[in-house]
């Protein structure tokens, strides 16, 4: 009887091998995302930068696999969140309440994207753009 491990195609095995890196990146993103929606629990941008560097360095290893969509998903999520936070930063200086609302919505969107990605990776599924 063949071993399940040997029945996996090379691209599928490559994707499975990248799961550990993907989980590390998603967990770092999740820590930051949860901290962003919980007042006083912000762990800092350093974890997010570590996750982003991991994704940027390992992205080419995932080419041709379903994991490639996850690397792109995480990178786009961080870039868009950063841009949105920067664009809404002036609201904090002008009006505290609108700034709080804007950052809260961005943080919830960020958390949603990370959880959605984790669920798809757990099922070994690619993500839609």
- 119 or 39: which carries more pLDDT confidence? 119
- Chain-centre distance for alpha carbon 107: 12
Looking at residue 94, its pLDDT comes to 74
Per the structure, the complete domain to which residue 56 belongs is given by 9-122
Looking at residue 19, its pLDDT comes to 93
Check pLDDT > 50 for residue 127. Answer: yes
Is 114 in contact with 29 (CB distance < 8 Å)? yes
Residue 128 lies in a domain: no
Residue 129 lies in a domain: no
Looking at residue 11, its pLDDT comes to 58
Q: Which two tokens stand for residue 28?
A: 């770092």
53-109 confidence digits (pLDDT tens)? 999 999 999 999 999 999 999 999 999 998 998 898 888 777 778 888 888 899 899
6-48 confidence digits (pLDDT tens)? 444 555 788 888 999 999 999 999 988 888 777 665 667 788 8
Residue 127 lies in a domain: no
Residues 23, 29, 30: CA angle, nearest 5 degrees = 85
- The model's pTM: 0.82
Q: How confident is the model at residue 129 (pLDDT cuts 50, 70, 90)?
A: low
Looking at residue 43, its pLDDT comes to 65
Residue 4 lies in a domain: no
For residue 109, give every residue at least 6 positions away whose Cβ sits within 8 Å of its Cβ, in sequence order, or none.
Answer: 81
Residue 46 lies in a domain: yes
Residue 23 lies in a domain: yes
What is the total count of domains within the chain? 1
Looking at residue 40, its pLDDT comes to 62
Distance, in Å, from the CA atom of 48 to the CA atom of 16, rounded to the nearest integer, reads: 23
Q: How confident is the model at residue 2 (pLDDT cuts 50, 70, 90)?
A: very low
Residue 87 lies in a domain: yes
């Amino acid at each position: 009887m063949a071993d399940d491990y040997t029945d996996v195609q090379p691209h599928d095995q490559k994707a499975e091998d990248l799961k550990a890196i993907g989980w590390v990146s998603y967990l770092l993103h999740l820590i930051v995302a949860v901290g962003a929606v919980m007042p006083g629990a912000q762990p800092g941008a350093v974890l997010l930068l570590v996750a982003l560097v991991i994704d940027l360095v390992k992205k080419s290893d995932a080419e041709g696999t379903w994991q490639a969509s996850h690397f792109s998903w995480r990178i786009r999520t961080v870039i868009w969140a950063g841009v949105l936070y920067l664009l809404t930063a002036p609201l904090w200086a002008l009006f505290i309440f609108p700034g709080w609302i804007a950052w809260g919505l961005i943080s919830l969107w960020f958390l949603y994207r990370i959880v959605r990605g984790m669920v798809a990776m757990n099922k070994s599924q690619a993500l839609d753009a």
